[in-house]
Structure formats: structure tokens, C-alpha cells
Amino acid sequence: MSVVLPNHNHARHLPTALDAILGQARPADEVIVVDDGSTDHSLSVIEGYAREHPSVRLLALGHNQGAVAALTAGLAAATGRYVYLGAADDEVLPGFFELGLERLEGHPEVGLFTGTTLLEDAASGRRTGRRPAVWPRYWPGVVSPARAAQLLRTSDNWVLTGASLLLNEAISEAGGLAADLGSFVDGFLVRKIALRRGFYFHPRPVAVWKVDKASLSRRTATSPEEAAKALALYSERIGADPLFPSGYAEEFGRRWRFATARIALELPVEERAVVQAMAAERPLDREVLVRLAPRLPDRLSRAVSLCWLYVRLRPTTLWGVLVSGVAGRLAWPRQGQRRDLAVPEQPALPGSDVQICPSNDDA
């Protein structure tokens, strides 16, 4: 197993990320830290870890080329059958690699393993939620390519790269990392792997995503121009690829517009131009989102806007969000307990016939 860890000026976060990776019960065979032209003391931190840990090696790009270039360089150097594409400012949780490799070895037909992710505000360290918002199934097991295509009609984003182990061979089959897709490069890749080979999903939290408001994905989502440009590019690429189900480009477009508008609602009223650009298509939308909601008290303004966005764009099923949320709260530790995770195989959920699979891993 190989870890590819891109880094640009994250010297203060690297020890946390590397300690979590190196402290796994089943450690990676190689940890390739790709330094993307850092100007802080990242190189000395990485070199210090490389001296103490034979599995760690530094790949220095010399000058800043961007996260996609760093990932691509790391993948080219990776020799493992399985690959973890990490981030220097995120963190893996205990037992992740052991669990993922065990399930991948037991199900060699699938292209990746994925768990759930805890969200944490990078600035405050406050726990803010978990992803995916809608689970593809409620017990551990395989999601076949056909099932993945079916699920795309009602939900999305079940695979977060930071909570996934990928089959290196499946990455190549899917065409690798498409450099022009920017922050969506990994999202596009894992969707193709899921549709080509299927994946193994486990509802256990395996990683912490530290959400940084200054990240590339957040900057793209909160700029009207960048959000519109990204939407056009992503929809075009999805629509042109025969692997994606018919009509998915349109579904993805609605979900992208909802996601960017939802993120913009976290900003002050005067900085929410993305909401108008992405979601105020009709006169009534503009009345609610641009004229009415901004005049309300802040929390009520966000609530009204979010409800309107959901009704208009229908990004996913409310039932799926509700059941996934309940499942997460019943089965997994709450804030403050994340570093001592239990591993129940089957959440104690009441019976339901909505996307719930049997406990048998092969079901």
C-alpha cells in the first residue's frame, strides 16, 4: 500500500497528518510526501520524518505546480497495489488502513474502499458534521457498478477521497487524474471507478476532513465566476463520458448549484453573490433569495434560503439524509470521542426498506 500526501506550506499540519498515517495498525508500505514548492519549513519537517521512518520519502517538485500536479507526480512514483490519496491538513483515524485493506482483499472485484468522514472546522477545531450526507447503504458491504449507477439518480458524493483506499489498477483504468478538472479531479475519478468496478462502503468514520475556507474547492464554490465556469466544465465532461448514466450531467448540475449556494449561505449577506448566480433563475427565486431572505435575521435568512434551494433544486432525498443522520448518531461516537472509535458492524437501526442492505457483506 502506498500513501501519496501532497503538501504546500502545511508545515504546522504535517506532524498531525503523518503521525496519524504512521500510527495505523497496518502501516502503509511507503509514504510519498510530495512537496509542492513550499516556502515555509515543510521540507525540514518531511526530512525529519524520513530520517526516522524508512517508509517515508520526500518527492520535491521545486516550485509550486498545484495539488493535481503533486498528486499526479506522487501516483507516478507509487508502487503499491492500493493507494491512499491524502491531504497534509487532514487526518486519518485509527484502524482505517487495516479495515480498508481487509475488505479490499476480501472483495478483489471492487475498485475502492470508502468509509465516512467527520467534518471539522480548520480554524476552530469544532466538529461540524459528517459525510456523506446520504449513505449508499446502511451496513458494510459492496455497492456494485449497476447499483452505483442506480443510486446516482437520487444521491451523490458517497465517496470522499480522504476516506478511501483505491486500487492502483482501477485508477489507471479510469484514466487517472484529469488535470483540467481542478478541485473536482478526485471526485470525477472515484465516480468513474465506482461505475466501472463498484466499491466497498463501511459506515465507520475513518478520516477527519478539516474544512478550510481558504481551500481551492471553497474558493471555487464561493466565486460566482469560478462556480459557473466549473459547472460548465464538469457537466460537459460528465455528459461526454459514456460511463456515466444518461441524464446524470443534469442531475449533477442541480446538485452542484445547490452545494455552491449552500456554502455561500455561510457567508455574510453581502458576499452571497453565488446564491443569485447559481440558484436565482426565475423571478420568484430572486424574490425569495435576493430580496426577502437577506432582510431576515441571519439564522432565519439561512433557513429560509436553504429550504427554498432544496425545494427548487431537489439535490437528494430528504429521507436518505434523515436516515443516514440517524444511523450515524446511533452507531458512531459523538464529538470529543472520535479518537477512540468502536467498530460495530451493524448499526442498531429500526427496520426500513429504503436502500438498506442485509448485513451479509456480499449482499
Per-residue pLDDT tens over the stretch 225-268: 888 898 999 999 999 999 999 999 999 999 999 988 888 888 88
Tell me the Ramachandran region of residue 333: left when phi exceeds 0, alpha when psi lies from -120 to 50, beta otherwise: beta
The pLDDT of residue 221? 67
Identity of the residue numbered 82: Y
The pLDDT of residue 171? 97
Identity of the residue numbered 316: T
The pLDDT of residue 333? 53
Residue reference for cell 459523538: 334
Q: Do the beta carbons of residue 2 and residue 73 sit within 8 Å?
A: no
The pLDDT of residue 64? 86
Residues belonging to the chain: 363
Per-residue pLDDT tens over the stretch 13-60: 999 999 999 999 999 999 999 999 999 999 999 999 999 999 999 999
Alpha-carbon 125 to chain mean position? 18
CA distance 40 to 140: 42
Residue reference for cell 469560478: 226
CA angle 24, 30, 31 (to 5 degrees): 75
B/e letters for 46-83, b = 16+ CB within 10 Å, e = fewer, are beebeeeeebbebbbbeeebbbbbbbbbbbeebebebb
CA distance 161 to 189: 9
The pLDDT of residue 307? 92
Query: Can you tell me whether residue 161 is helix, strand or coil?
Result: helix
Q: Does CATH number 3.90.550.10 belong to domain 2-211?
A: yes
Domain ranges of the chain: 2-211, 216-313
Burial class, 123, CB count within 10 angstroms (exposed 0-12 / middle 13-18 / buried 19+): exposed
CA distance 210 to 81: 27
Q: Which helix (H) or strand (E) holds 30?
A: strand 30-35
CA distance 112 to 163: 10
Q: Do the beta carbons of residue 235 and residue 252 sit within 8 Å?
A: yes
Q: Which residues of the chain have pLDDT under 50?
A: 334-363
